[in-house]
Amino acid sequence: MADPTPILHMISPLSQVSPFDVNMAFDAGYGRIAPYPHVTLDEVRALTQDMMFSRPPAAAARTALFIGGRDASLAFDMAQTARAALFPPFEISVFPDPAGAFTTAAAVIAKVERQLSGRRPGALMGAQVKVFGGTGVVGSIAAVIAAEAGAKVTLVSHRGLTPVTIKAAEFQQRFRVDLACANAETDAEKAALLAASDVVISAGRAGVEILSASLVAAAETVLVAADVNAVPPAGIAGIGAHDDGAPLAGGTGTGIGPLAIGDLKYRVQQALFRRLLDTRTALFVDLPTIFALARELA
């Protein structure tokens, strides 16, 4: 009997499925991709069951569901809804990665951890991590991954405590992690946070400088600074796009740039698509799975 053809179903709550994700899936080897835009949470169960019941059990593991969009919480809910719809022998694989945020966040923390190794006992364990742009999809998930790895994480807002407090409460309930909250609208407030940091991550809006050169130079305790923003100007002044452990200008730590993070993110997402493509048993790709792979590839 011929090996069942792999099929990837890609759903998104947005008006379009991301071309980035489609390209990644094609490049990983998928030849059959079906996109579904405008999908609501209420529709996920029925769609999932259509995907699983329309193929014989032998083809179940050759069928995969990718969940996109730009909302991390909605993607988690969609993934859990899809998973709850599955039962033997029709289980299909499920992989949520809205806006590439889960693989990007895993790449950020894996890169940070690699730089901390040998510089700080325990690396991430107990490290003081400040995430600027902590309510965004990448920043908030990076915070969760770092906290699950043992770091003491603070979500930092530039528009009051309410947004980060809401996000921290949601993720504490969802992931059982403790996330502190802070507001830093002025340089003085930012400097105070940096003075008590081992790691700083900039995941704010693209094209906005969050930490100036003078703040970086004065941040004597910061061992690693990572910038997710690839659109000039840099989110953290002095970090080059390709930096991967380069000394911070005027500071004592090392910097990680967005293209170094992006390279690892690309390899992680590609490898996960290949796992879905090659597996003979259904996979559920969660954050620990993504981070474990990022650690391995870093």
- Tell me the percentage of the chain whose pLDDT exceeds 70: 99
The span from the CA of 63 to the CA of 7, in Å, is: 5
pLDDT of residue 2: 62
Of residues 118 and 239, more confidently modeled:
239
In angstroms, the first-to-last Cα distance of the chain is 39
Q: Over 70: is that where the pLDDT of 172 sits?
A: yes
pLDDT tens across 101-145, in order?
999 999 999 999 999 998 899 999 999 999 999 889 999 999 999
Q: Over 70: is that where the pLDDT of 249 sits?
A: yes
pLDDT tens across 190-214, in order?
999 999 999 999 999 888 999 999 9
To the nearest whole number, what is the mean pLDDT of the chain? 95
CATH architecture of residue range(s) 7-96: 3-Layer(aba) Sandwich (3.40)
Q: Over 80: is that where the pLDDT of 81 sits?
A: yes
The span from the CA of 250 to the CA of 232, in Å, is: 20
Cβ atoms within 10 Å of 174's Cβ, excluding its own = 13
pLDDT tens across 41-65, in order?
999 999 999 999 999 998 999 999 9
The span from the CA of 281 to the CA of 155, in Å, is: 37
Domain boundaries, the chain: 7-96, 101-261
- Out of 3.40.50.10420, 3.40.50.720, 3.10.420.10, 1.20.1730.10, select the CATH number for domain 101-261: 3.40.50.720
Cα maximum dimension of the chain: 69
pLDDT of residue 1: 46
pLDDT band at 3 (very low <50, low <70, confident <90, very high): confident
Whether pTM > 0.85 for this model: the answer is yes
